[in-house]
Amino acid sequence: MKKFWVLAGILVIAMCALTPRSGAQQKERKDAAGHEWFNHAVFYEIYPRSFADSNGDGVGDLKGITSKLDYLQHLGVDAIWITPCFPSPQVDFGYDVSDYEAIDPMYGTLDDFDELVAKAKTHNIKIILDFVPNHTSDQHKWFLESKSSKTNPKRDWYIWRDGKPNGQPPNNWTSTFGGSTWTLDPTTGQYYYHYFYAQQPDLNWRNPEVRKAMLDCMRFWYKRGVAGFRLDAVDTLFEDPDLKDNPLLPGLDKFGFPNEHEIYNKKLPEVHDVMRDMRKLADEYNAVLIGETWTANVSELRDYYGEKNDELQMPMDLMLTQFPKLSAPLFREHITALEDAGGWPVFVISNHDIVRSYTRWGDGKNDDQIAKLAATMYMLLRGTPIMYYGEEIGMENNDPKRKEDVQDPQGRRGWPKEIGRDGERTPMQWNDRPNAGFTTGKPWLPVAPNYKTHNVATESKNPDSILNLYRKIIGLRGSEPALREGKYIALNGDDANVLAFARQDIRGSSVIVVLNMSDSPQSVKLEMSKVAAPSARATTLVAVGAKSSAEVMGTISLEPYGVYVAKVDSRLR
């Protein structure tokens, strides 16, 4: 009898774990402000080829990531996003998936993945995978079937069309990776469509079978304990069914093809239906969806949350990555637009497709100080930051100098105008030993030159390092209520050099953040009346290249790119 009750108990627990959550349960996981775990989390992007190599083959792997969980926890990371680690011919280094429900042997096995999820849990770290819905690899079994004949049941899973009567591609669309988006397949004499490389054929999201198959793949990972997905290239999911030519714009792209206004193959309204479907599924698993959402402005970004907040919880704001240099007015204007638009911002300053922020914003003289300023800014604004591995130690770009050294096909095709993305994907710098401690073999990309000084081991010992600044700032996100939900209040809105703002908690405390975005010393007297009584006192939390009198009403002196953060008792008496 006792056995029966034990078994019944186990059954009930298992059923609870497997049953999708009801609306009421979903509400429970929100806090008083209506926010969920990911609103207060720090995310960290890992490019698995380059993070940690456990077996000496020169390419990082899952066991390598697992071995660094202590480091990530100590840094203050709550969730890691791993770029695609599924089986792939690696034409686009994993963004050409040939099986959505397995792990590429170069990264390990499904058991290694399960072990990573389980160990990460003991470190309070969630795992986010990268889902590539727009296209598969041309080696995926679906595409191999689809291309085998015009009558194959999977033919309509991809986008096939006849060429023009003169044999030319069906229309003028050009690939973001160079050349026509159409490739002629000799077996059936038709063209297939690919927004990216020819080895990345686009799926046909108008086909309900495709939609179902792709959602099933997501479910497969949710059931394995994944906490969400970063969704790749969501704006390219649909194409105009009539394949109308895109209007041409002046000039040529980096690959020598005419520039186009991509109105017929990008950001079609149907994208939002798919986002809603994915969100419904995510909600069943308390999961988060992060979007690779390239937008021209904040209003476009807003659309990805969904009219009823029923699409992506975290569409990435990638606009900061396009700011070529620090500028207080530019950043202030952008932050104001974000605040006015509502929604929970998601900040990104670097990733595997963009020149690292250390190189992009650095001036060659104050690079470390600038890295500290950038960290303070995007970690302390209202929103969720997504870090890129190595940002926390000041990793720099190490761009290839010769075409023959380039690994990224984009760089080989576009050289020298487009040098590819190898520079921002170099091995993580763990210590000052050979290959920065990333591998005992030959790394797939050369380590960046600054690894002798900018590495985890060396910086851990230095209280003034970029790494220790990150740890401290991330710690403040946890310890200061104003930095959790506090509203954003712009201070000294006319200052051309200093970006200053407060985050103010409803209970009356504020944290002020003062950032000198110029290469000259600045002194500022803050508009403190916006947040505090004249008698309020400030407690310095961080001062790097900055000095202030104890009273925050006093003047704050900032060295070039100086950073000052203080806590203020802001009750207006």
| Catalytic center residues | 232, 284
Report 109-138 residues binding ligand NOJ (CB under 6 A).
Answer: 132
CA distance 233 to 197: 13
CA distance 135 to 342: 32
Residue whose CB is less far from ligand NOJ, 425 or 567 = 425
Shortest distance in whole angstroms from residue 92 CB to ligand NOJ: 5
Residue whose CB is less far from ligand NOJ, 395 or 568 = 395
Considering only residues 138, 253, 292, 339, which one is a binding residue for ligand NOJ as defined by CB under 6 A? 292
* Number of residues near ligand NOJ (by CB under 6 A): 9
Shortest distance in whole angstroms from residue 466 CB to ligand NOJ: 25
Considering only residues 193, 196, 221, 229, which one is a binding residue for ligand NOJ as defined by CB under 6 A? 196
Q: Which amino acid is at 217?
A: C
Peptide bond into 416 cis (omega under 30): yes
Residue whose CB is less far from ligand NOJ, 198 or 524 = 198
Residue whose CB is less far from ligand NOJ, 409 or 481 = 409
Q: Is 241 exposed, middle or buried (0-12, 13-18, 19+ CB in 10 A)?
A: exposed
Shortest distance in whole angstroms from residue 83 CB to ligand NOJ: 7
Shortest distance in whole angstroms from residue 184 CB to ligand NOJ: 22
Q: Helix, strand or coil for residue 490?
A: strand
What strand order describes the sheet that includes 288-291?
314-315, 288-291, 228-231, 126-131, 79-82, 43-46, 384-388, 346-348
Q: Which amino acid is at 83?
A: T
If binding is defined by CB under 6 A, does position 480 make contact with ligand NOJ? no
If binding is defined by CB under 6 A, does position 353 make contact with ligand NOJ? yes
229 touches 289 (CB < 8 A): yes
Which of these, 285, 289, 351, 341, lies nearest to 318 by C-alpha position? 351
If binding is defined by CB under 6 A, does position 193 make contact with ligand NOJ? no
Residue whose CB is less far from ligand NOJ, 92 or 367 = 92
CA distance 316 to 345: 8
Residue whose CB is less far from ligand NOJ, 95 or 142 = 95
What burial letters (b/e) apply to 99-134, b meaning 16+ CB within 10 Å?
Answer: bbeebbebbbeeebbeebbeebeebebbbbbbbbbb
CA distance 49 to 424: 12
Shortest distance in whole angstroms from residue 200 CB to ligand NOJ: 7
Q: Where are the beta strands (DSSP E) in 233-388?
A: 248-252, 258-260, 288-291, 314-315, 346-348, 384-388
Q: Is 239 exposed, middle or buried (0-12, 13-18, 19+ CB in 10 A)?
A: buried
What is the length of the chain? 573
Give the C-alpha distances (Å, rounded to integers) separating 174 from 24, 254, 461.
47, 12, 50
295 touches 38 (CB < 8 A): no
373 touches 561 (CB < 8 A): yes
Q: Which token pair is 235? A: 């704006």
132 touches 84 (CB < 8 A): yes
Window 217-236: contact mask with ligand NOJ (x via CB under 6 A): ---------------xx---
Window 233-252: contact mask with ligand NOJ (x via CB under 6 A): x-------------------
Q: How many helices (H) and strands (E) does the chain have?
A: 16, 19
Residue whose CB is less far from ligand NOJ, 132 or 298 = 132
Residue whose CB is less far from ligand NOJ, 320 or 536 = 320
Cα radius of gyration rounded to whole Å, the chain: 25
Residue whose CB is less far from ligand NOJ, 95 or 344 = 95
Shortest distance in whole angstroms from residue 408 CB to ligand NOJ: 9
Tokens 């761009």, residue located = 399
Angle of helix 271-284 relative to helix 208-223, nearest 10 degrees, comes to: 30
Residues in Cβ contact with 155 at an 8 Å cutoff, skipping those fewer than 6 apart: 146, 149
Looking at the DSSP assignment, which residues form a beta bridge with residue 404? none
Shortest distance in whole angstroms from residue 390 CB to ligand NOJ: 16
Shortest distance in whole angstroms from residue 248 CB to ligand NOJ: 24
Q: Is the dihedral of CA 189, 192, 198, 201 positive or negative?
A: negative
Residue whose CB is less far from ligand NOJ, 267 or 382 = 267
Report 519-538 residues binding ligand NOJ (CB under 6 A).
Answer: none
Shortest distance in whole angstroms from residue 478 CB to ligand NOJ: 29
The DSSP output letter for 22 is: P
Shortest distance in whole angstroms from residue 265 CB to ligand NOJ: 14
438 touches 53 (CB < 8 A): yes
Report 82-101 residues binding ligand NOJ (CB under 6 A).
Answer: 92, 95
The residue sitting closest to ligand NOJ, measured at its beta carbon, is 95
CA distance 163 to 170: 5
Interface ranges with ligand NOJ (CB under 6 A): 92, 95, 132, 196, 232-233, 292, 352-353
